[in-house]
């Protein structure tokens, strides 16, 4: 795929899938228009990279649909100066979008092969503000906390206490919570006093968040 064709597809995605569905944050739209999504899908799937749906990336994981990536990013209310924790590196696409906006990104993935692939890819694309870890994302990254923002890209049965504890005051956590096949996307804000306030954003479907404070491995 040529760079010019990729740029046209990204702009079409922004106009038809994002702006038309109330994605309005300029930092989010700008990042989505710059990250080459076709680099993050499996070989042979490049022509469908900008379609309006999630896609498998192997190991039982997916790259979320463009709209969901943009919606979750917008819900973080970023300025570009934040320290962000991402739970669930996956393909690395969401991390790249966050890195485009700025700040520092710390991303955790439990599948080593996916993490290593993301490290290589984001390095090739020139991102220097992303830090990677292989491990249980439900426990967060305590030695690097607190984080101004936390984003979880897998569905949890409940909000992990470790993540709310590592969220700065004030701070914002975005996470899908619910049953195995349907969740509620929550925006959770922590105020200066440490009080948590939840807002339901929309219904959604994500793969399971596996870990000590998530779903257990079957």
User: CB of 154 within 8 A of CB of 134?
Assistant: no
pLDDT digits (tens, 9 = 90+) for 81-106: 999 999 999 999 999 999 999 899 99
* 3-204 maps to CATH 3.40.50.150: yes
pLDDT digits (tens, 9 = 90+) for 60-70: 899 999 999 99
pLDDT digits (tens, 9 = 90+) for 108-158: 999 999 999 999 999 999 999 999 999 999 999 999 999 999 999 999 999
d(CA 81, CA 62): 28
183: confidence class by pLDDT, cuts 50, 70, 90 = very high
Task: Please give the pLDDT value at position 2.
Answer: 87
pLDDT digits (tens, 9 = 90+) for 1-39: 788 899 999 999 999 999 999 999 999 999 999 999 999
Task: Please give the pLDDT value at position 218.
Answer: 65
User: Catalytic residues, which ones?
Assistant: 64
SS3 16: helix
pTM over 0.85: yes
Task: Please give the pLDDT value at position 162.
Answer: 98
Neighbours of 164 (CB within 10 A): 17
User: CB of 47 within 8 A of CB of 1?
Assistant: yes
């Amino acid at each position: 795929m040529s760079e010019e064709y990729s740029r046209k597809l990204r702009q079409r995605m922004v106009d038809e899938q994002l702006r038309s569905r109330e994605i309005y944050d300029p930092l989010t739209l700008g990042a989505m228009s710059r990250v080459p999504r076709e680099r993050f899908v499996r070989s042979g799937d490049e022509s469908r990279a900008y379609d309006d749906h999630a896609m498998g990336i192997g190991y039982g994981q997916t790259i979320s649909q463009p709209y969901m990536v943009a919606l979750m990013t917008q819900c973080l209310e970023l300025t570009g100066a934040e320290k962000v924790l991402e739970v669930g590196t996956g393909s690395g696409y969401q991390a790249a979008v966050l890195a485009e906006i700025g700040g520092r990104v710390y991303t955790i993935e439990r599948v080593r092969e996916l993490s290593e692939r993301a490290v290589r890819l984001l390095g090739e694309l020139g991102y220097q503000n992303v830090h990677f870890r292989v491990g249980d994302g439900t426990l967060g990254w305590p030695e690097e906390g607190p984080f101004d923002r936390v984003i979880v890209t897998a569905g949890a049965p409940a909000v992990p206490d470790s993540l709310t504890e590592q969220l700065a005051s004030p701070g914002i956590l975005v996470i899908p919570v619910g049953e195995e096949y349907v969740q509620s996307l929550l925006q959770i804000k922590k105020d200066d006093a440490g009080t948590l306030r939840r807002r339901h954003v929309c219904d959604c479907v994500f793969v399971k968040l596996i870990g000590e404070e998530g779903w257990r491995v079957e």
